[in-house]
Copies of this chain bind each other. A is one copy, B any other.
């Protein structure tokens, strides 16, 4: 198996382990997310989503009164 094929198989195996997050939003909500990501200098929407989820998750899990 040539190197590129091995490498491809490794990437496929890795991606299969990941969980897919998928949902729909209204076009005007999406436009606001893009505007915010652009204003804050995000290089990709994915990174903006990850930061948003991680920040909210940390705020909940690190708070004393989260439950």
Contacts and interface: CB of A to CB of B under 8 A. Distances in A.
Interface of A: 15, 17-27, 29-30, 32-33, 35-36, 39-41, 45-46, 48-57, 60-61, 66-67
B21 A24 contact: yes
A60 B46 contact: no
Contact of A55 (B54, B56, B61): B56
Contacts of A35: 57, 61
Contacts of A18: 24-27
Chain A contact residues, majority secondary structure: helix
A52 to B, nearest CB: 4
A53 B27 contact: no
